[in-house]
Structure 1
Amino acid sequence: MAKKTYWIFYILFLNTTIQIVNGGFQKLFHKGIRYERLSLLNFTEISTEYGYKSEEHTVITEDGYVLTLFRIPKGKNCHFTVQTTPVLIMHGLLLSSDSWIDSGPEAGLAYLISDDCYDLWAGNVRGNYYSRNHTRMNPEVDSEFWKFSLNEVGVYDLPAIIDYILEYTRSVKLNYIGYSQSGGSFIIMCSERSGYCGKVSVAILLHPAAKMTNVKSQAFRIITKACEILEPNIQNALEYEALPRGGYIQKMMHDICQNDFIADTICRSILTMLDSYNPGSISVSTIRALTGHFPAGTSFRVMAWFSQVLNKEEFQNFDYGPVMNMKIYGRKQPTTYNCNATTAPVVIIHGENDNIVSKKDVEWLKGQLPNVLEVVYVKNPLWNHFDVPYSQHTREMLYPKIGEYLFKYSGHGAE
């Protein structure tokens, strides 16, 4: 109990310190900040800047969450007929659909895929700034809005998004690309929602987060553990929102990272501390842009769930403790997801320098899934977790294998 109290006071102190530092920084430097223009824009505005026509769509889940979905129906550099099988790409923890375009048209996966003549859809899960709405609840007031973990993303968000895309495009199946937590949520969907795996021609999982007992990043462990400790004590709705866009941490990082020198030193060092070192992979302009969109917000319960899976040998649901587990699951331990239900063909792409999703955990996942076509390790030995959405080398390091399987499993290819 004493240790838990220590953590609570430590986090409260840290939060107060961040507010004071941010406030002082704003007063001293705010007037002189020259913001990266793209960091201030949304998905449709950014894509328009680069000459890509995009659309905004609204999806409502079975439990009432209002999600925003973006579409690039045809890339600027696509000069042929668009493939009939749409592509859905889903972001990672604390990110949004903006992460697929922040590195620009030469490297952003949304641009590369749409330029290859695919109907590209970029989703947003509940709780980030694009999907912070509900048909009945107000996220500013109702703490119940924030009481979700990754389970609800897999059970409600992904099925709703997939159904919407298939109905809108009149397609039978789509191709799925899931990064980090969206790899895990895809497996949850297949385990908990019968029939939805059959709506996916191929699932390309980029650094998928499922069992994570071998995480090397101490910063990730500390942040998620703090959230796990604080989560049961939170009552206020706004306090239940973790690391939102517009919060103290995001605003402070956005401000200080607009200076090129600071972006290339301090801000790059923060990314390295969270993940690992890959010099020059993420450009300074991308760092300046991404800090306007990251962190994008989620619930404390999602962050707490990530802390829990760091110490579990199986991929399982949220652990409420023995008493609540009995009420919710009918057993003292959380239910375990059935990875064997992921019957869709799966391709896993991973980087060996990833300190958040380890190679050992990826190899474990490979052994749990019944239909893994290939596990590909990026040729660059320093390729890490944040390189997936943000590296300027995505076209040569990551996209060839993605493009290979999208082509194979699109309208003209094998189903």
Structure 2
Amino acid sequence: MRETINELITVMLPLLLVLLLSKYTKSVDLEFYLDTPEVIKSWGYPVEVYNTTTEDGYILQLHRIPYGRDDPIPSANQPPRPVIFLQHGFLCSSFDWVANLPHQSAGFVFADAGFDVWLGNFRGNTYSRKHVSLNPDRDQAFWDWSWDQISQYDLPAMIGKALEVSGQESLYYTGFSMGTLTMFAKLSVDPSFGRYLKKYFALAPVGTIKHARGVFSFLGRHFGANYNDYVSKYGSDELFGSSWLFKKVVKYTCGLFETLEELCSDITLLFVGTASENWNQTRVPIYMAHTPAGSSSSTMAHLDQMFSYGGTPAYDMGEEKNLKIYGQKLPPQYNFTSITDVAIYLFWSDDDWLSTKQDLKETLFAQLNPQIVQGNYRISNYNHLHFIWGTNAAEKVYKRIVNIVSDDLN
């Protein structure tokens, strides 16, 4: 009898705790539970989903908002809308571009401004966990890549798909954070790729992270070498993949009381910069329900190498593998001076702890040809995430891009 009672207690206590918490939990916005296409639909916008396969076999999912919420369905005899491609950063996903209200979110702002909007998803995140032959849950080889491969394979596959479906020859590219780093790397290795970009808008641009501040800097200084050794010894694996358990934890902590919500917001800001103006704290549980969205541990190790070495090195695999792959003991450096024939617009801030002014001075500002940098916009009081989640990002960044493109089309 006692054993039966103990078993009932073991089963019922967690259920009672969940019910009790549910009673006192604040209501969570609908976007907490929806994926990116569902979020887009919930706001009344059209959405399409496409898959594309990279040259090395990764199947990436793209999300498209072909026209604005209040626009009529385009007819066959209408001129095509200009294509804008939005690419997320490290551990993020297409959700970042539709994370706020429609008048605040880049994906919706651009759709309503007349663009054919495409949202990319890098390999390994929530929407791109497929391969032609590898299983992410069983095959460690699925995770054997860094941002080198993202730059080399993912960008051309996704942009190629957007151009194929839209029937256009080039598009406007907007990258955030690692979405800029990978494009700068791609253009430096293959300058001819610039023919597919009408203009390149770089938000919180990254050339290196040698002078990163905040929690990332602390972790890099104290644990970076050990982390790299671990990945080198045991191989790459999934890093911070999205899961139902993490969503539950977020819901019953950040979403429970305002004090916990504020704590989660403060913890987030410790990574990116503490400037909190234009930051909607009540949306933090929603952001965290979708982020982190997953990547590989080798990508994290590669970013740590940038922090440790400075510059923009390819992934350091150790002397033996470096000699085999690169033909030299140390990994080569990406050289941004070779980027040509693409108009670049930089949007950055002194208050950004991950894309710091010092790092920009040592890489992008120093190496990019001034003739191709057609806009250099310093946004005051912006941390790293304000460029995608800031409540006034539409006014400070997105509508400025719309105006630049409008001038380009007229």
Q: Which residue does 1:137 correspond to in 2?
A: 134
Shift of the 92–271 alpha-carbon distance from structure 1 to 2, 3 Å rule, reads same
Letter matched to residue 376 of structure 1: Y
State which of 333, 336, 347 in structure 2 corresponds to 1:339.
Answer: 336
Q: Which residue does 1:385 correspond to in 2?
A: 384
Shift of 1:279: 2.8
Q: Quick check: 1:41 aligned with 2:42?
A: no
1:287 match: secondary structure:
helix
2:289 match: secondary structure:
coil
Shift of 1:78: 4.6
Equivalenced residue count is 383
Shift of 1:264: 3.8
2:92 match: secondary structure:
coil
Shift of 1:408: 3.5
Give the Cα separation in 2 of the matches to 1:150 and 1:283. Answer: 30
Shift of the 329–404 alpha-carbon distance from structure 1 to 2, 3 Å rule, reads same
Q: Which residue does 2:6 correspond to in 1?
A: none
Quick check: 120-129 or 221-230, which moved more?
Answer: 221-230
Q: Quick check: 1:281 aligned with 2:274?
A: no
Q: Which residue does 2:375 correspond to in 1?
A: 374
**CA deviation digits over 1:381-406, x for unaligned, max 9?**
32110111111111222223222223
Shift of the 47–250 alpha-carbon distance from structure 1 to 2, 3 Å rule, reads same
2:180 match: secondary structure:
helix
Preserved contact between residue 243 and residue 250 of structure 1 (Cα < 8 Å): no
Q: Identity across aligned pairs (percent)?
A: 25
Q: Which residue does 1:159 correspond to in 2?
A: 156
Shift of the 36–395 alpha-carbon distance from structure 1 to 2, 3 Å rule, reads same
Structure label with greater radius of gyration: 2
Shift of the 181–143 alpha-carbon distance from structure 1 to 2, 3 Å rule, reads same
Preserved contact between residue 221 and residue 307 of structure 1 (Cα < 8 Å): no
Q: Please, what is the CA RMSD of the aligned residues?
A: 2.3
State which of 241, 254, 261 in structure 2 corresponds to 1:244.
Answer: 241
Q: TM-score, normalised by structure 2?
A: 0.87
Q: Quick check: 1:66 aligned with 2:65?
A: no
Preserved contact between residue 263 and residue 284 of structure 1 (Cα < 8 Å): no
Give the Cα separation in 2 of the matches to 1:265 and 1:83. Answer: 45
Letter matched to residue 64 of structure 1: G
Preserved contact between residue 191 and residue 339 of structure 2 (Cα < 8 Å): no
- 1:209-288 correspondence to structure 2 within 5 Å: 209-219=206-216, 221-222=218-219, 225=224, 227-234=227-234, 240-246=237-243, 251-262=248-259, 264-288=261-285
**CA deviation digits over 1:284-339, x for unaligned, max 9?**
34212111101100000001111000123321200112222111100011012131
Unaligned runs of 5+ in 1: 1-23
Q: Which residue does 2:399 correspond to in 1?
A: 400
Letter matched to residue 196 of structure 2: K
**CA deviation digits over 1:4-28, x for unaligned, max 9?**
xxxxxxxxxxxxxxxxxxxx99984
Shift of the 75–84 alpha-carbon distance from structure 1 to 2, 3 Å rule, reads closer
Give the Cα separation in 1 of the matches to 2:187 and 2:252. Answer: 41
Q: Quick check: 1:126 aligned with 2:123?
A: yes
Shift of the 29–335 alpha-carbon distance from structure 1 to 2, 3 Å rule, reads same
State which of 96, 99, 102 in structure 1 corresponds to 2:96.
Answer: 99
**CA deviation digits over 1:162-212, x for unaligned, max 9?**
111111111111010010001010012112345311110110001112211
Give the Cα separation in 2 of the matches to 1:326 and 1:254. Answer: 48
Shift of the 261–162 alpha-carbon distance from structure 1 to 2, 3 Å rule, reads same
Give the Cα separation in 1 of the matches to 2:406 and 2:104. Answer: 19
Unaligned runs of 5+ in 2: 1-12
Preserved contact between residue 83 and residue 118 of structure 1 (Cα < 8 Å): no
Preserved contact between residue 211 and residue 315 of structure 1 (Cα < 8 Å): yes
